[in-house]
């Protein structure tokens, strides 16, 4: 019976290369010609690819969510990511373990790896840094030398939003963002920079709350009552945008004639709002699934170099922005 060693000898490559090719290792940097030759030799020698059928390691993966179930319901962004993570873990047959910051080091280090998602203070990151198992962050990049991460390309997303609004003729552009203790929404700085380079930044057009509908409602009313209502608003997520819609309705303002609104996340209900909400789509399901894949690859192949994956976004133009 042919062995991997036989194939390696005939192909003139290492045993490790043959093993990785036959197991379809996507991280292997080998020429297509080499891969083809290995498969041809394996078929010629009638080699049975037992590696694919032999015991597959069942990983034990921890998941740490920095937000509560109640907060998750207020903002579907993290709900979508969590469901994608859990679906992928189930598909792979891995064991899911809910992790808390006060769990014992023995419990954490008994896991193969941990996926962290949410927002993180410096203190929280310091607690996670003592964990000895591989860790990947979704939508956060607290230490690129220590952790893998999957992040959204917020700079390009915000630049696209501002460019679109300016292209529609808006010069009074505001933002309803989020600024929590120790956790700053990086989109705020990107938004300010995008407007400053166009000479359009006015601090009175920016307000901050939390990622819930009630803050979109409250802050739009504040703009109106202060007499500082911009013609267009970039709102940090679609839930807050829904709150802003409600406030506009109660104030007798028409969208987009009196106030244009752009959201963020493209939740399923965004296209059913009246008028349909122009918003930025984030690929939340992909982020959750790919986090599992990256962590799996690091655990199984022992990769030591940290990886940061930046995910692009897409602006979906609907009917909530007025063109002058």
**pLDDT, tens digit (0-9, with 9 covering 90-100), for 20-59:** 888 777 677 778 888 888 888 888 887 765 544 444 578 8
240 in helix, strand or coil? helix
Run of H or E including 314: strand 314-316
pLDDT the model gives residue 52 = 46
Residue 50: per-residue pLDDT: 52
By CB atoms closer than 10 A (0-12, 13-18, 19+), residue 84 is buried
3-state secondary structure of 103: coil
- Sole residue written with tokens 């602006």: 315
DSSP-derived secondary structure for 40-94: HHHHHTT---HHHHSPPP--EEEEEESS-HHHHHH-HHHHHHHHHHHHHHHHHTP
* CB burial readout 290-301, b (16+ within 10 A) else e: bbbebbbbbbee
Residue whose entry in the numeric block shows the structure tokens 């990947």: 136
Nearest residue to 270 via CA among 320, 307, 205, 203: 320
Q: Please name the residue that has the structure tokens 């937000």.
A: 67
**What b/e sequence results for 17-37 when a residue is b if at least 16 CB atoms lie within 10 Å of its CB, and e otherwise?**
bbbbbbeeeeeeeeeeebbeb
Using alpha carbons, select from 26, 30, 6 the residue that is nearest to residue 17.
Answer: 30
pLDDT at 54: 43
Contacts of 74 (CB under 8 A, 6+ apart): 211, 212, 213, 239
Quick one: average pLDDT of 4-33?
81
Confidence at residue 51, expressed as pLDDT on a 0 to 100 scale? 44
Residue linked to tokens 């310091």: 126
- Please compute the mean of the pLDDT values over residues 295-305 and round it to a whole number: 88
Question: For the chain, how many residues are written?
Answer: 324
Confidence of residue 183 (pLDDT cuts 50, 70, 90): low
What pLDDT is recorded for position 151? 93
The strands making up 60-65's β-sheet, listed across from edge to edge, are 95-98, 60-65, 113-117, 135-138, 148-152, 308-311
Phi-psi region of 173 (alpha: psi -120 to 50; beta: other; left: phi over 0): beta
Distance (Å, whole) CA 231 – CA 174? 8
| Residue 4 confidence (pLDDT) | 81
Helix pair angle (238-250, 213-226), 10° resolution = 40
Grade residue 184 by pLDDT with cuts at 50, 70 and 90.
low
Model confidence band, residue 200 (pLDDT cutoffs 50, 70, 90): very high
Q: In which residue are the tokens 């406030």 written?
A: 247
Q: Give the span between the Cα atoms of 41 and 9, in whole angstroms.
A: 10
Q: How confident is the model at residue 182 (pLDDT cuts 50, 70, 90)?
A: low
**pLDDT over threshold 80, residue 2:** no
Tens digits of residue pLDDT in 93-111: 999 999 999 898 889 989 9
Q: At what angle do helices 4-11 and 15-22 cross, to 10 degrees?
A: 110
Average pLDDT over residues 160-179: 93
Write down the mean pLDDT value for the chain.
Answer: 89
Which backbone phi and psi does 144 adopt, to 5 degrees? -65, -15
Look at 183 and 116; give whichever has higher pLDDT. Answer: 116
Helix (H), strand (E) at residue 191:
helix 186-196
Instruction: Read off the pLDDT of residues 225-257 as tens digits, 9 standing for 90 and up.
Output: 999 999 999 999 999 999 999 999 999 999 999
């Amino acid at each position: 019976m042919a062995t991997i060693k036989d194939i390696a000898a005939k192909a003139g490559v290492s045993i490790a290369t043959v093993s990785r090719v036959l197991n379809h290792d996507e991280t292997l940097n080998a020429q297509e010609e080499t891969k083809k030759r290995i498969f041809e030799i394996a078929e010629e020698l009638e080699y049975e690819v037992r590696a694919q059928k032999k015991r597959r390691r069942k990983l034990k993966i921890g998941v740490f969510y920095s937000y509560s179930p109640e907060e998750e319901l207020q903002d579907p962004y993290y709900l979508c990511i969590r469901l994608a993570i859990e679906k992928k873990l189930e598909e792979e047959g891995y064991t899911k373990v809910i992790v808390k910051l006060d769990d014992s080091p023995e419990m954490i280090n008994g896991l193969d790896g941990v996926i962290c998602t949410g927002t993180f203070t410096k203190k929280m990151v310091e607690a996670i840094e003592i964990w000895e198992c591989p860790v990947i962050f979704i939508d956060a990049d607290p230490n690129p030398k220590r952790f893998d991460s999957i992040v959204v390309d917020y700079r390009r997303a915000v630049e696209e939003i501002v460019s679109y609004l300016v292209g529609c003729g808006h010069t009074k552009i505001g933002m309803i963002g989020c600024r929590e203790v120790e956790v700053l929404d990086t989109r705020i700085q990107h938004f300010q920079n995008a407007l400053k380079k166009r000479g359009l930044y006015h601090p009175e057009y920016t307000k901050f709350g939390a990622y819930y509908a009630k803050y979109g409602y409250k802050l739009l009313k504040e703009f109106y009552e202060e007499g500082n209502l911009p013609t267009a608003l970039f709102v940090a997520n679609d839930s807050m945008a829904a709150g802003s819609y409600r406030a506009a309705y109660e104030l007798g303002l028409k969208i987009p004639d009196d106030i244009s609104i752009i959201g963020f996340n493209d939740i399923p209900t965004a296209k059913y709002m009246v008028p349909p909400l122009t918003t930025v789509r984030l690929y939340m399901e992909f982020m959750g699934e790919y986090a599992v894949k990256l962590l799996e690859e690091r655990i199984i192949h022992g990769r030591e170099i940290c990886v940061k994956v930046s995910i692009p976004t897409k602006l979906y133009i609907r009917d909530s922005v007025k063109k002058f």
